Amino acid sequence: PLSKSDYIYFFELTSAAMEELYIWNVHSKAFDSYLGRHLMRPELSFYLRRDFSNLKELCIADENMNNSMVNTIAKNCRQLRCLSVSSAYVTGKHMISMTKLESLVARECSIETEYLSEILDQLSLTHLDLTANRHQVEKTILQSAGAKRLQRLGISDAQDYG
């Protein structure tokens, strides 16, 4: 198996060619998966400094994810089509600059209605999942013309999830 320093070196060399990346925490331990291998991962900020010019799908399940990191992803991942995040610190700010985004999964986030309205109106989303969002978004979704493009929609009340 790769040591953490070897893995970081490997990751730096291969990040520009990656098309999919999954990053998550399990029992306070940090992992990522690439090429089917699950490895202990560096801090989340390590990934945000990489060249992800070919990345099309990114899944980050880390409670430390925030709007500043979303902004960095928007700048570094210009080909991103699918984003999945899970953090109370993600409000939807900066997401409209992900112009190729087709699928947004933001479970247990705090997507604000003003940003959601912009996302629905300005992006060509076909899949939206706001399960356990901390704000009431139903009215915003119903009033948005962009919601008509959605082929899949997931919503539920955050109170059901504690």
| Residue 46 CB burial class (10 angstroms; 0-12, 13-18, ≥19) | middle
Local confidence band at 162 (pLDDT 50, 70, 90 cut-offs): very low
- What is the average per-residue pLDDT within 111-132? 97
User: pLDDT of 50-79, one tens digit each?
Assistant: 889 999 999 998 888 999 999 999 999 999
Lowest mean pLDDT among 25-29, 104-108, 126-130, 135-139: 25-29
CA distances from 2 to 5, 16, 111 (A): 8, 20, 38
- Report pLDDT for 6: 82
Q: What is the CATH number that goes with domain 4-161?
A: 3.80.10.10
| Residue 139 CB burial class (10 angstroms; 0-12, 13-18, ≥19) | exposed
Local confidence band at 31 (pLDDT 50, 70, 90 cut-offs): low
3-class state of residue 10 by DSSP: helix
